[in-house]
Amino acid sequence: MGSDDDALLAEQIAYYRAGAAEYDRPYAERQDLQDLLTVTADLPIGEDVLELACGTGQWTTMLAARARSVTAVDAAAEALAIARSRAASPHVRFIQADMFEWQPPRRYDTVFFGFWLSHVPPVRLSDFWSTIAAALAPGGKAIFIDDGPAEAAREEAPSESFSDKSAPAAVRRLDDGSQYRIVKVFHAPRTLTDDLTALGWSARIRTVAGKFIVGIAEPPPPHGSA
């Protein structure tokens, strides 16, 4: 991965650390996000769940209500502090780690990530899905929720230009006037399905409320399987 993407990912983590206290605001202000939180009720959540990029725990509480155990991982200590208070439960474990460096120590029935896939640089996508496949128990599924292409209109693009090899980026602004660049890739259901198929996955991805995507994906069969 090039230096442009390295800088973007570092700035992305810095943003979520600095903006943890403001992160939940859209969920309070936007009815569509409040409605989206109920989607987990209809998703095939397994007994043991790994949640990647759990943030402030908006999704963690929903997962914990369905699962036997939840392991929730995020790079931002400030966001995890909020998540711990929101989803305090003996069967929820929180881990602070960089999503691109941490390796799951065991396998899970479900790997869930809400609004994280769009923050993965395209050059990292194949490795990312390989990590998820390795984290899933036999019969396990990856479940994800994210912004679809219709949400791109809400985004502010960085003023400076990047190399052609760098990831798509957007700007985030905080109340103190600071601004940060983050990776932001808007996956269309059909294109993402094709990308996953090319990696050996099977996926069902749908659009919700005309602007969000919800996907359920199953990894390639193990080598040597019939």
Using alpha carbons only, what angle is made at residue 52 by residues 91 and 175, rounded to the nearest 5 degrees?
105
| pLDDT 10s digits, 40-80 | 899 999 999 999 999 999 999 999 999 999 999 999 999 99
Among the listed residues 45, 39, 111, the one whose alpha carbon sits nearest the alpha carbon of residue 73? 111
71 φ/ψ angles, rounded to the nearest 5 degrees: -110, 115
Judged against a pLDDT cut of 90, whether residue 107 lies above it is answered with yes
- Extract the tokens encoding 191: 């294109």
DSSP state of 192: H
Other Cβ atoms within 10 Å of 95 Cβ, number: 14
Average pLDDT for the chain: 93
Tell me the pTM. Answer: 0.93
